[in-house]
Amino acid sequence: MTYFPEEVLEHVFDFLSSHRDRNAVSQVCKSWFRVERWSRHRVFIGNCYAISPERVIARFPRVRALTLKGKPHFADFSLVPHDWGGFVYPWIVAMAKSYPDLEELRLKRMVVSDESLELLSRSFPNFQSLVLVSCEGFSTDGLASIAANCRVLRELDLQENEVEDRRGHWLGCFPDSCTSLVSLNFACLKGEVNLGALERLVARCPNLRSLRLNRAVPLEALHKILTRAPQLVDIGIGSYVHESNSEAYVKLCNAVLNCKSVQSLSGFLEVAPCCLPAFYPICLNLTSLNLSYAPGIQGNELINLIRHCRKLQRLWILDYIGDKGLEVVASTCKELQELRVFPYDPYGGGNATVTEEGLVAISMGCPKLHSLLYFCRQMTNAALINVAKNCPNFTRFRLCILDPTKPDHVTLQPLDEGFGAIVQSCKGLRRLSLSGLLTDQVFLYIGMYAERLEMLSIAFAGESDKGMLYVLNGCKNLRKLEIRDSPFGDIALLTNVGKYETMRSLWMSSCDVTLGGCKALAKKMPRLNVEIINEKDQMMENSHDDGEKVEKMFVYRTLCGPRRDAPDFVWTL
Amino acid sequence: MDGAMGLLGGGGGGGSSGGSTDGSMSTVSKAEVVEQDYVGLMSEVSSYPAEAELELGLGLSLGGAMKAKPCAWREYGRILTAKDFPSVVSRGSSASSSSSSGRGTSTTAITGTKRTADTVAQDVGHANGASSQVVGWPPIRAYRINSLASQVKASTAEEDDHSIFGNDKNKNSAKKDTNNSNNKNNSNIQEKGCRRSSLFVKVNMDGVPIGRKVDLNAHSCYESLAQTLEDMFHRPTTTVNANRSSGEKEHNLMVEAAKSSRLLDGSSEFVLTYEDKEGDWMLVGDVPWGMFLNTVKRLRIMRTSEANGLAPRFQERDQRQTPAPRLRGSKPI
């Protein structure tokens, strides 16, 4: 019961930004439910098929910011066929009718057509922020409509999308009256851009803080842009090739000196490392450095650059930095919180890369490290145990040993103990990716210790159904489980079916679950969609028997029943 | 026949639900590799062991060393071909399951099977720990893989240019430091089929009936190219003569003694343009050098007055609202 008038409640709820808090609050009583739903302006939907746009609109009538995620995570690695789904168009159509005040849209792994972008640009007069991550289906024509029609656009952030570049003049479509841009990231576009239009755009947007250029912006243009926007906080360099003694380079050095606010640097998509010293002055204040797309920066240039970055908190690099380079990082970057080491040459082998020694060095030198993505070719239990001891604060720990079933290279034992140490020591661990040779034992540890774990990625691991069951029975907060090429079958799938309704989704590919098992799951749990993805054979329903193993299965909870836009090769049981 | 990526070796040892003992070699041996069509990937059939060269194609190649040994891991950066993927559908009984599955020749994604420690050691001995070419492994976003691959191709071209002229001592030492650099060069050799030693293109200047040729690979940036061209077409005078008679041989260019070229900065009577692969005439200097090398067919030193609507390139303070420079007959950028 409450004596508070609803306006007071609403005011209090305004302070609640976390979705979980709001969800909790909405369950207290009918009155709170009502107040909360009218005051919720930001909605996060982790699986666009879990609910329909109409229901979202019915529940939350006044949404201004929406985040939507589409394809399962393994789609990033080409495990999900292209037309599987994740179309944003129906959402935009529905919102165009009901959310006139929409300001922000953030999409991840969705299919976005030019038509969607056009409709988006015309339907929401207050639209300010569009962030597309790992999406596909659109071209620069769609960007042109956003540029042309969104009058108060502040943010256009394209991260790692597959964009068809029609070499149009989309940058020139920003009207002269557009002065509101705060963030512009088009690094993933492959084609040329209108440099004059870019420069004029930068010149007339005084609030521009973040600018990430694509490869087609050469160094000569860069210095002019930096001169016009010395207030930039985040810069993504496009192409960076020039002789170090040329006039343009000198001009660039001066322009860089003027940029006193830069904290984040990325790009260097084509680079002549001799020119890197131009950036040393801003390295001192850098908190974020992403060189993972800069294969041209190697060896001494790389080390020298890093030596200047004492305040770094986030570092993304390629593995040719080597263990020695990581030691430099460990001794220089004491504030480091997030490290990602990507493989420069994932399909080759034996070149200089990083090993467990580099990881241990980092763990010793960087006590604040809590987020790790590390590709390497070898690992040992001892190293992982060491790391777990040095860094008990991991929230995200993703280790990928390039050879998928490689054991401890010293003892030739599975890596169960190493990962076990990680989950035991890092009580706040929310995300974990395993690799290397692993038995059921590691899952026993995970089930036992990883209480806060929300997302687990498993590949080529485990020995029997017990492994998967340890996880399903143990990890209370598990939301996403994705498994490939592991020997888990129907028993694992069906023993704890209630668990799946507490999770967002389960992905299993190339495991031992059978069609019959999937059917049983679908029958027991009507509020789950059990999708079988079989690209080869579209007459699945008739020609297969239940004993057959299922190639790819994606299970997710939903309030909407089977989706109507599923392609032929997806069979929802 | 080592079409197997080594993962097959341990067969069903990993413990299918049939409960086979782990660690033992199962019925699936490497000899049971069967060719399958691979889902989603282009299948470019190659005779597997004989294929020692790198095949061009999707940019999976990232500059690793070329291995001539016919071991399970060796081909890096190759398009996954039909022969790469065995028919293993499940661990433990690949042959029988593939027939009973009724899927005929349809394939599943590779199921990595468990391997014994022996197999592992053996393969480590063979290979350099290169990862197998299983779909979606290693788990790197396709965007990143493609992006890195195409950058390596572009940047190796430029690195070669730099190293030829010793412009960058650091870079040369860096090359010695890491194997990767060497391998990049190696891969460049294999990838392109030849190292780019010279790239001669025609250069014509308005009013000069006889053209020249210039080696673009002798330069690493626009500045030095423009300087060379100015020297080539240089007629020493002290004034800029506005005479535009096309028959004249004497042309008047003020040659800048300093480093920046007047051809590039728009202050001379002439501008430097090029014809690209698509047949359009473009202003030199807009795109990164490497991209320029890839698209240029020939050069033309054009009178500024003939380049319609061409705004001088490096306008510092001038707030022109004109549209982007556009050459007659070319597409807007």
- What tens digit of pLDDT does each residue of A103-116 get? 999 999 999 999 99
Domain with B277, as residue range(s), is: 200-235+260-306
Does the CB of A346 have a partner CB in chain B at under 8 Å? yes
* Higher per-residue pLDDT: A386 or B114: A386
Q: Tens of pLDDT along B89-140? A: 333 333 333 333 333 333 333 333 343 334 433 433 344 444 446 788 899 9
Asked if the model's pLDDT at residue A29 lies above 50, the reply is yes
Q: What is the distance in angstroms between the Cα of A78 and the nearest Cα belonging to chain B?
A: 6
Look at residues A528, A533, A543 and name the one whose alpha carbon lies nearest to residue A566: A533
* Higher per-residue pLDDT: B215 or A495: A495
Asked if the model's pLDDT at residue B5 lies above 80, the reply is no
Query: A196 vs B90: CB contact, 8 Å cut-off?
Result: no
Measure the CA–CA gap between B54 and B311, rounded to whole angstroms.
46
Kindly report the number of other CB atoms within 10 A of residue B235's CB atom. Answer: 13
Q: Tens of pLDDT along A260-314? A: 899 999 998 877 777 788 889 999 999 999 999 988 788 888 899 999 999 999 9
Q: pLDDT-derived band of residue A243, with 50, 70 and 90 as boundaries?
A: low
In a domain, B219, yes or no: yes
Q: Yes or no: say if B7 and B15 are a contact pair by the CB < 8 Å rule.
A: no
Does the CB of B149 have a partner CB in chain A at under 8 Å? no
Measure the CA–CA gap between B20 and B98, rounded to whole angstroms.
18
Measure the CA–CA gap between B194 and B206, rounded to whole angstroms.
34
Measure the CA–CA gap between B69 and B125, rounded to whole angstroms.
12
Does the CB of B42 have a partner CB in chain A at under 8 Å? no
Q: pLDDT-derived band of residue A540, with 50, 70 and 90 as boundaries?
A: low
Query: A551 vs B109: CB contact, 8 Å cut-off?
Result: yes
Asked if the model's pLDDT at residue B192 lies above 80, the reply is no
Q: What is the distance in angstroms between the Cα of B224 and the nearest Cα belonging to chain A?
A: 9
Our count of domains for chain B comes to 1
In a domain, B324, yes or no: no
Does the CB of B228 have a partner CB in chain A at under 8 Å? no
* pLDDT for position B69: 40
3-state secondary structure at position A9? helix
* pLDDT for position B191: 32
Does the CB of B136 have a partner CB in chain A at under 8 Å? yes
In a domain, B161, yes or no: no
pLDDT, average across residues B180-193: 35
* pLDDT for position A538: 54
3-state secondary structure at position A542? helix
Q: pLDDT-derived band of residue A191, with 50, 70 and 90 as boundaries?
A: confident
Q: Which of residues 96-115 of B touch A (CB under 8 A)?
A: 97, 100-103, 106-112, 114-115
Q: What is the distance in angstroms between the Cα of B229 and the nearest Cα belonging to chain A?
A: 17
Q: Tens of pLDDT along A198-207? A: 999 999 999 9
Does the CB of A242 have a partner CB in chain B at under 8 Å? yes
Nearest-CA residue of chain A relative to B102?
A544
Dihedral (Cα; B1, B7, B13, B14), 10-degree rounding? -160
In a domain, B290, yes or no: yes
Task: Dig out the tokens for A88 from the structure.
Answer: 């944003």
- A449: Cβ contacts below 8 Å, ≥ 6 apart: A420, A423, A424
* pLDDT for position A542: 60
Total-model pTM: 0.69
Look at residues A457, A447, A449 and name the one whose alpha carbon lies nearest to residue A425: A449
In a domain, B168, yes or no: no
Asked if the model's pLDDT at residue A85 lies above 60, the reply is yes
In a domain, B312, yes or no: no
Query: B141 vs A76: CB contact, 8 Å cut-off?
Result: yes
Mean predicted lDDT score pLDDT of chain B: 53
* Higher per-residue pLDDT: B84 or B227: B227
Amino acid letter for position B304: T
Query: A167 vs B333: CB contact, 8 Å cut-off?
Result: yes
Query: B129 vs A81: CB contact, 8 Å cut-off?
Result: no
Q: What is the distance in angstroms between the Cα of B132 and the nearest Cα belonging to chain A?
A: 7
Asked if the model's pLDDT at residue B25 lies above 60, the reply is no
Query: A433 vs B139: CB contact, 8 Å cut-off?
Result: yes
Q: pLDDT-derived band of residue A245, with 50, 70 and 90 as boundaries?
A: low
Residue ranges and CATH numbers for the domains of chain A are 1-40 (1.20.1280.50), 44-50+61-500 (3.80.10.10)
* pLDDT for position A276: 84
* Higher per-residue pLDDT: A90 or B59: A90
* Higher per-residue pLDDT: A467 or B249: A467
Question: What's B281's domain CATH number?
Answer: 3.10.20.90
Measure the CA–CA gap between A159 and A170, rounded to whole angstroms.
17
Q: Yes or no: say if A217 and A185 are a contact pair by the CB < 8 Å rule.
A: no
Q: pLDDT-derived band of residue A350, with 50, 70 and 90 as boundaries?
A: low
Measure the CA–CA gap between A56 and B16, rounded to whole angstroms.
43
Nearest-CA residue of chain B relative to A465?
B17
Mean predicted lDDT score pLDDT of chain A: 91
Measure the CA–CA gap between B268 and B310, rounded to whole angstroms.
13
* Higher per-residue pLDDT: A397 or B121: A397
In a domain, B213, yes or no: yes
In a domain, B64, yes or no: no
Q: Which of A134, A227, A241 to mutate to test the interface with B (most CBs of B within 10 A)?
A: A241
Contact list, B86 vs chain A (CB under 8 Å):
none
Q: Tens of pLDDT along A115-139? A: 999 999 999 999 999 999 999 999 9
The residue behind tokens 């390497």 is A376
* pLDDT for position A244: 60
Half-sphere exposure of A235 (CA within 13 A, CB side): 28
Nearest-CA residue of chain B relative to A187?
B147
* pLDDT for position A508: 96
Nearest-CA residue of chain A relative to B37?
A536
Asked if the model's pLDDT at residue B186 lies above 90, the reply is no
Total beta-carbon pairs less than 8 A apart between chain A and chain B: 332
Nearest-CA residue of chain B relative to A403?
B131
Amino acid letter for position B197: S
Query: B129 vs A377: CB contact, 8 Å cut-off?
Result: yes
* pLDDT for position A2: 58
State residue A374 phi and psi, 5-degree precision: -140, 115
Q: What is the distance in angstroms between the Cα of B308 and the nearest Cα belonging to chain A?
A: 16
Measure the CA–CA gap between B106 and B87, rounded to whole angstroms.
9
Measure the CA–CA gap between A322 and A186, rounded to whole angstroms.
30
Distances (CA, A) of A393 to A15, A328, A367, A397: 28, 22, 8, 10
3-state secondary structure at position A484? strand
Nearest-CA residue of chain B relative to A243?
B221
**Partners of residue A529 on adjacent β-strands:** A556
Does the CB of A241 have a partner CB in chain B at under 8 Å? yes
A63-77, A457-471, B28-42, range with the lowest pLDDT? B28-42
Does the CB of B62 have a partner CB in chain A at under 8 Å? yes
Q: Tens of pLDDT along B42-66? A: 434 444 444 444 444 444 434 334 4
